[in-house]
Amino acid sequence: MQSKTSSSELRPHACFNAGLFRRDLSRFWPLWAVYAAVWLLALPMTQFAQLFGNSAQHFTAPQLAGNAIQSMMSISCDLGVWGGAIFGCMFAMALFSYLCSPRAVGMMHAFPIRREGLFWTNFLSGAVVLLAGQVLAFGLTAVMQGAAGILVWKYLLESLAAAAGTMFFFYSFACFCAMFTGQILAIPVFFAALNVLAAGVNYLVQNLLSQFLYGYSASGSPAWVIWLTPVWKLNRTLGVDGPWNDEIQTYEKLSISGLSAVAVYAAAGAALMILALVIYRRRRSEAAGDTVTVCWAKPLFRFGCGLCCGLSLGQLLYELLWTEFRSSGQSSLPAAAACMALAGLVGYYAAEMLLRKSFRVFRTGWKCAAAVAALLILLTVGIRVDAAGVENWVPSADSVASLDFSISGNSGLSGTLTDPESIRKFLSVHQTLIGEKTIQRQRGMENSLSEDTGYEYGYLSLNYTMKNGGCVSRNYSFYYTPEELQNPNSAAARAAALASEPDVQWAGLLNGTDQKTVEQNLTAGEMSWYDGQGNYQSTGFDQKTACTVFAALKKDVKAGRMGSYYFGGGNWQEEVYANNVSLYYSTGEDGRINTVSFQIPTDCTDLVDLLKKSGVDTPAHPLITQAQLDKLNDTGKDGTALSATAAVKG
């Protein structure tokens, strides 16, 4: 006599259990509700406000469409990244919380379901909610946009794809992290740490390098570091693209850029999902409550904590201790190594305490701790002796896509260059500077110790953007004597020569903007002049004049008539007019005004003639050199405006 069973419709499947799925959905409904609310507020509500709210009447129909779609796309991207990181982590924590409690894991793993079934059912619950929230929000958005008549499915689906892809990646990543720990609060910590690990370590190592290596600057990041920091990469590449149409004052043909990066991350998410399952199967039930559950991850955790702590706290310690003692530019290897080793030990033992859940960890494991300390010391020494040859490394001309430079001596210029010839010239100066590094270090120390060394200061900053997407940056401070400028092989002389190169000067004038952009967007210009009573006034000129001035300027620069006054030498008081000429041009939709400003050497005949002809240089407001100005100030009897001729002649 068998009892009647009534559950035949719920046969346990190998990979999925409907009861568990339903349970997940009902158990954590507040979390799902908050998530859905965030999406609903972010998309349909804002769309509603934009399309049908009070402000809508101020815009034309195409403007409404442009604004609404741009806002939809940009919100999808931002929420996809930040919402994905936050909610992905919280979902993973909720759904796999049972793995952190021995009682709960005892029940779940005793049930007649394979580990795969548990994993997939729980994972799917989170994924379904993630997607459902988005589909709901976008569905309502479609309704709004449809009602307003601006619905274009392509834009909507692109936005949905961007949001869904990024959220899926972060959720899978969080689930992956959840497999490695049996402490619920360790999940967000691991998740956050792994997200920024590459960028963090990169920054720390670069900081260390910049302490010891001549010219090294910590502001460059290789492409792979950026890829391994998803929030950074996605923030950079994911965005809304679309030209601004000035006539109708709105965007046209909007699209989301960076969808390929999203696809890469989504694929990575799928891989992480599979890996999470693999780890789950290997993970032992008794690991609930442990900080790290998988045995091969424990040494990784220990060493990782030790090294990261060493690099971060160690450098902090070094900064705190050594700043008092050191003079700028001087660094101490023993102090740095000692600080890093000590901090490394602290990190290692802290990790060990977390793993063993006890404070008594010092007796065993000292060998590994010593290894960590040794590694850090080795790293510091290696950096100091530049074992990797980073200090001497100069990129090859073929691998550089563009260069943002800044040269200065007495005054400076900075700009962007993309043509290979100029880049090669810079690379050669770069090389020379490296050759002088020992001398420069010495001079740097002398300079910081005493005021009067007789050295002049020069500065060269190089930011190479590589063809593979990474960027390398170097900042060189160098000291030179005026005699050195005569020696064509010295770095200072070479830098000075570089500053006189027409292409370089032209790039410096444009300061990063494209030449065509400037040409086509010039609006006006003005010139400053000295009124003899201690004030500088300015006189403006119109767009047409500005264009001609620009053309003449270009001619003079390319002909090399701008001269070389950046590094001492030359007689600039007599050879350059003190007046400042500015040309204004606008870029982009926010109507920002940029300037090209310069002073005119007397040799620039084209420019001078043009200015005279266009009525900018008149006796009322003349072009005047500094020497003449000085004489004026010395010999001027009264404060009245002088005749230009008299001033010029005198």
Partner 1 sequence: MIEVNKLVKRFDGFAALDGAALTVPDGSVYGLVGPNGAGKSTLIRHLTGIYRQDEGAILVGGEPVWENPALKARIGSIPDDWYYFLQASIRDMMRFYRSFYPRFSMERYEKLKEVFAIDERRTIRRLSKGMQKQAAFWLTMCCLPDYLILDEPVDGLDPVMRRQVWSLVMSDVAERGTTVLVSSHNLRELEDVCDHVGIMDHGKVLLERSLEQLQDNMVKLQVVFPDGMTEVPPELPVLHASKIGRIHTLIMRMSAEEATERLAQYAPLLVDAVPLTLEEIFIYELGGVNYAVKDIVL
Cβ–Cβ under 8 Å, residues 15 and 111? no
Residues 6+ apart with CB under 8 A from 123: 95, 175, 273, 276
Question: Which one of 21-29, 62-70, 227-235, 548-556 is the stretch in contact with partner 1 (CB under 8 A)?
Answer: 21-29
Quote the CA–CA distance of 506 and 512 in Å, as a whole number. Answer: 10
Please say which residue, 111 or 244, places its beta carbon nearer to partner 1. 111
Please say which residue, 280 or 567, places its beta carbon nearer to partner 1. 280
Please say which residue, 18 or 593, places its beta carbon nearer to partner 1. 18
Cβ–Cβ under 8 Å, residues 39 and 134? yes
25 conformational bin, left if phi > 0, alpha if psi -120 to 50, beta if neither: alpha
Please say which residue, 4 or 360, places its beta carbon nearer to partner 1. 4
Quote the CA–CA distance of 285 and 540 in Å, as a whole number. Answer: 79
Residue indicated by tokens 């065509």? 516
For the stretch 480-502, what's the b/e string if a residue is b when 16 or more beta carbons lie within 10 angstroms of its beta carbon? bbeebbeeeebbbbbbbbbbbbb
Quote the CA–CA distance of 114 and 104 in Å, as a whole number. Answer: 16
Quote the CA–CA distance of 606 and 549 in Å, as a whole number. Answer: 9
Q: How far is the CB of 150 from partner 1 (least distance, A)?
A: 45
Please say which residue, 15 or 157, places its beta carbon nearer to partner 1. 15
Q: Which of 20, 89, 277, 499 binds partner 1 (CB under 8 A)?
A: 20
DSSP lists the bridge partners of residue 460 as 407, 476
Question: Which one of 111-119, 244-252, 364-372, 389-397 is the stretch in contact with partner 1 (CB under 8 A)?
Answer: 111-119
Q: How far is the CB of 212 from partner 1 (least distance, A)?
A: 42
Q: How far is the CB of 176 from partner 1 (least distance, A)?
A: 22
Quote the CA–CA distance of 130 and 91 in Å, as a whole number. Answer: 9
Q: Does 12 bind partner 1 (CB under 8 A)?
A: yes
Q: How far is the CB of 10 from partner 1 (least distance, A)?
A: 5
Please say which residue, 101 or 587, places its beta carbon nearer to partner 1. 101
CA distance to 321, 351, 625, 645, 646, per residue, from 649 (Å): 62, 80, 12, 6, 5
Please say which residue, 105 or 226, places its beta carbon nearer to partner 1. 105
Restricting to residues 226-285, name those near partner 1 by CB under 8 A. Answer: 284-285
Q: Which of 43, 113, 377, 471 binds partner 1 (CB under 8 A)?
A: 113
Helix (H, G, I), strand (E, B) or coil at 106: helix
Q: Which of 107, 248, 271, 620 binds partner 1 (CB under 8 A)?
A: 107
Q: How far is the CB of 145 from partner 1 (least distance, A)?
A: 40
Quote the CA–CA distance of 636 and 142 in Å, as a whole number. Answer: 76
Helix, strand and coil content of the chain, in percent to the nearest 5, comes to 60, 15, 25
Q: How far is the CB of 4 from partner 1 (least distance, A)?
A: 5
Please say which residue, 290 or 404, places its beta carbon nearer to partner 1. 290
Q: Does 18 bind partner 1 (CB under 8 A)?
A: yes
Q: Does 7 bind partner 1 (CB under 8 A)?
A: yes
Strands (E), 324-468: 400-408, 412-417, 456-466
DSSP lists the bridge partners of residue 524 as 584
Question: Which one of 107-115, 147-155, 263-271, 367-375 is the stretch in contact with partner 1 (CB under 8 A)?
Answer: 107-115
Q: Which of 36, 86, 115, 524 binds partner 1 (CB under 8 A)?
A: 115
Please say which residue, 103 or 649, places its beta carbon nearer to partner 1. 103
Restricting to residues 283-342, name those near partner 1 by CB under 8 A. Answer: 284-286
**Cβ of 172: how many Cβ atoms within 10 Å?**
26
Strands (E), 549-591: 576-587
Q: Is the dihedral of CA 284, 287, 293, 298 positive or negative?
A: negative
Q: Which of 30, 54, 58, 112 binds partner 1 (CB under 8 A)?
A: 112
Please say which residue, 27 or 631, places its beta carbon nearer to partner 1. 27
Which residue in 307, 326, 296 sits closest to 373, CA to CA? 307
Could you give the string, one character per residue 24-63, with x where binding to partner 1 holds by CB under 8 A and - elsewhere?
Answer: ---x------------------------------------
Q: Does 358 bind partner 1 (CB under 8 A)?
A: no
Residues 6+ apart with CB under 8 A from 238: 77, 80, 81, 162, 166, 256, 257, 258, 259, 261, 262
Q: Does 365 bind partner 1 (CB under 8 A)?
A: no
Q: Which of 105, 137, 340, 379 binds partner 1 (CB under 8 A)?
A: 105
DSSP 8-state code for residue 642:
P
Quote the CA–CA distance of 305 and 346 in Å, as a whole number. Answer: 9
Q: Which of 30, 57, 58, 110 binds partner 1 (CB under 8 A)?
A: 110
Tokens for 194? 């792994």
Q: How far is the CB of 5 from partner 1 (least distance, A)?
A: 5
Which residue in 589, 590, 561, 586 sits closest to 576, CA to CA? 561
Q: How far is the CB of 24 from partner 1 (least distance, A)?
A: 11
Which DSSP string corresponds to 15-57?
Answer: S--HHHHHHHHHHTHHHHHHHHHHHHIIIIIHHHHHHHSGGGG
Q: How far is the CB of 405 from partner 1 (least distance, A)?
A: 59
Q: Which of 104, 185, 378, 449 binds partner 1 (CB under 8 A)?
A: 104
Quote the CA–CA distance of 311 and 301 in Å, as a whole number. Answer: 15
Q: Which of 5, 323, 396, 535 binds partner 1 (CB under 8 A)?
A: 5
Question: Which one of 36-44, 101-109, 303-311, 425-433 is the stretch in contact with partner 1 (CB under 8 A)?
Answer: 101-109
Q: Which of 40, 74, 109, 582 binds partner 1 (CB under 8 A)?
A: 109
Please say which residue, 14 or 620, places its beta carbon nearer to partner 1. 14
Quote the CA–CA distance of 221 and 238 in Å, as a whole number. Answer: 18
Size of the site for partner 1 (CB under 8 A): 35
Tokens for 410? 């007495």
Q: How far is the CB of 121 from partner 1 (least distance, A)?
A: 11
Question: Which one of 56-64, 104-112, 160-168, 227-235 is the stretch in contact with partner 1 (CB under 8 A)?
Answer: 104-112
Q: How far is the CB of 7 from partner 1 (least distance, A)?
A: 5
Restricting to residues 423-442, name those near partner 1 by CB under 8 A. Answer: none
Q: How far is the CB of 112 from partner 1 (least distance, A)?
A: 4
Q: Which of 38, 40, 114, 475 binds partner 1 (CB under 8 A)?
A: 114
Residues in the chain: 650
Q: How far is the CB of 132 from partner 1 (least distance, A)?
A: 21
Which residues of this protein are in contact with partner 1, per CB under 8 A? 1, 3-8, 10-12, 14, 17-20, 22-23, 27, 101, 103-107, 109-115, 117, 284-286
